């Protein structure tokens, strides 16, 4: 039974990055514990506050954010953090080597009905100069990530991690309090018959996406020539995890309800880390027109359309958008 730390040492991950990842995992274990208590701990329901995105915060959004923030800004190797629940980036240690961005509790609308949620994180190297409360030092494209991953809080707590050498699964062994390796070098099948999208938004999509989904729904008689299944969990972590396990395609496309916003999902702490995982597993992650990790960020909360998963299916969607 190989523990996370042992795998990181084996893969040649530098000591400073191992420490930062270890602190992210300490926070995620605490979040997993609080989620396991649920209503017994009085942590369900919403606050009266909104985050910078204008979304009503769940109590566990705030709790999870505080757990991660308090642990990471006290790590000597963390220059600063950026979170979905923080208006601005937050400074850590002035000489810290890394920047950490995260969505502390993805899919939090699922909390009150006891469905899967998760924590997504991305780690970048900090430039030579600049304070962690200076947003500009975070604005690096996704190719600059040195590590990315998520923890899925489901029937078991699963860490899915890449440090640029493939994707590994780790399961939290609650008896020893450690994440242990359970699947190595995960690969996404290149072809799929399963898609995930919020169909209630169909009338707002671009014509290319509308036509692709319409063709999927025609099944064997349509131009795509196969019968598709549809899934939708309303948690990006759960959707991407299913794709890593058995293939598929996940789409949260641009729509015209808010034309000034290019998508719903955030580039820095949702799109980029998930894209790194998907590409490291042999899949493809795009905006429907370009690779997400090639997008140059302009703000810590920048939004982006997302189409990711089995490579050949993603390429089909891109053809519909030409």
CATH number of the domain that 125 lies in?
A: 3.30.540.10
- Per the annotation, does 108 bind a ligand? yes
- The per-residue pLDDT for 114 is 76
Domain that holds residue 130: 4-183
pLDDT < 50 stretches in the chain: none
Same domain, 179 and 199: no
CB 212 within 8 A of CB 222: no
Same domain, 77 and 144: yes
Same domain, 50 and 179: yes
Report how many domains make up the chain.
2
- Per the annotation, does 94 bind a ligand? no
Q: What is the pTM of this model?
A: 0.94
- Per the annotation, does 248 bind a ligand? no
Q: What is the pLDDT of residues 157-208, one digit of tens each?
A: 999 999 999 999 999 999 999 999 999 999 999 999 999 999 999 999 999 9
Same domain, 239 and 309: yes
Same domain, 179 and 35: yes
Same domain, 156 and 199: no
Residue 101 backbone phi and psi in degrees, to 5: -115, 150
- Per the annotation, does 272 bind a ligand? no
188 within domain boundaries: no
- Per the annotation, does 166 bind a ligand? no
Same domain, 14 and 100: yes
Same domain, 292 and 251: yes
Last residue of a domain, one of 183, 214, 248: 183
Count other C-beta atoms under 10 Å from residue 156's C-beta: 12
- Per the annotation, does 270 bind a ligand? yes
- Per the annotation, does 131 bind a ligand? no
Same domain, 226 and 155: no
CB 119 within 8 A of CB 64: yes
CB 238 within 8 A of CB 120: no
Output the CA torsion sign for 154, 107, 86, 40.
negative
Same domain, 295 and 261: yes
Same domain, 72 and 50: yes
- The per-residue pLDDT for 65 is 95
31 within domain boundaries: yes
Same domain, 107 and 201: no
- Per the annotation, does 122 bind a ligand? no
What span, in angstroms and rounded, lies between the C-alpha atoms of 117 and 44?
Answer: 13
Q: What is the pLDDT of residues 294-319, one digit of tens each?
A: 999 999 999 999 999 999 999 999 99
CATH number of the domain that 303 lies in?
A: 3.40.190.80
Count other C-beta atoms under 10 Å from residue 237's C-beta: 27
CB 249 within 8 A of CB 317: yes
189 within domain boundaries: no
Last residue of a domain, one of 155, 183, 211: 183
84 within domain boundaries: yes
Mapping DSSP onto H, E and C, the string for the chain reads CCEHHHHHHHCCCCHHHHHHHHHHHHHHHHHHHHHHHHHHHCCCCEEEEECCCCCEEEHHHHHHHHHHHHHHCCCCCEEEEEECCCCCCEECCCCCCEEEEEEEEECHHHHHHCCCEEEEEEEEECCCCCCCCCHHHHCCCHHHEEEEEEEEECCCEEEEEECCCCEEEEEEECCCCEEEEEECCCCCCCCCCEEECCHHHHHHECHHHHHHHHHHHCHHHCCCCCCCEEECCCCHHHHHHHHHHHCCEEEECCECCCCCCCCCEEHHHHHHHHHHHHHHCCCEEECCCCEHHHCCCCCCCCEECEEEECHHHHHHHHHHCC
């Amino acid at each position: 039974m190989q523990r996370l730390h042992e795998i990181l040492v084996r893969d040649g991950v530098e000591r400073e990055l191992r420490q930062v990842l270890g602190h992210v995992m300490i926070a995620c274990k605490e979040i997993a514990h609080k989620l396991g208590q649920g209503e017994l701990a009085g942590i369900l329901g919403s606050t009266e506050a909104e985050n910078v995105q204008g979304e009503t915060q769940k109590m566990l959004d705030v709790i999870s954010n505080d757990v991660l923030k308090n642990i990471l800004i006290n790590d000597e190797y963390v220059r600063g953090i950026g979170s979905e629940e923080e208006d601005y980036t937050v400074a850590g240690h002035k000489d810290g080597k890394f920047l950490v961005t995260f969505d502390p509790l993805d899919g939090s609308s699922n909390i009150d009905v006891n469905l899967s949620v998760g924590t997504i994180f991305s780690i970048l190297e900090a430039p030579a100069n600049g304070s962690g409360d200076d947003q500009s030092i975070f604005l690096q494209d996704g190719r600059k990530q040195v590590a990315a991953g998520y923890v899925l809080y489901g029937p078991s707590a699963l860490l899915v991690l890449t440090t640029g050498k493939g994707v590994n699964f780790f399961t939290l062994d609650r008896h020893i309090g450690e994440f242990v390796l359970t699947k190595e070098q995960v690969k996404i099948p290149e072809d799929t018959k399963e898609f995930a999208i919020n169909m209630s938004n169909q009338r707002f999509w671009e014509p290319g996406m509308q036509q692709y989904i319409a063709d999927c729904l025609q099944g064997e008689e349509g131009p795509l020539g196969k019968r598709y299944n549809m899934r939708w969990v309303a948690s990006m972590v759960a959707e991407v995890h299913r794709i890593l396990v058995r293939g598929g395609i996940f789409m949260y496309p641009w729509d015209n309800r808010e034309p000034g916003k290019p998508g719903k999902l955030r580039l820095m702490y949702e799109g980029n880390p998930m894209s790194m995982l998907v590409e490291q597993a042999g899949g493809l992650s795009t905006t429907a027109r370009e690779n997400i990790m090639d997008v140059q960020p302009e703000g810590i909360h920048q939004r982006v359309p997302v189409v990711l998963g089995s490579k050949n299916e993603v390429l089909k969607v891109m053809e519909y958008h030409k």
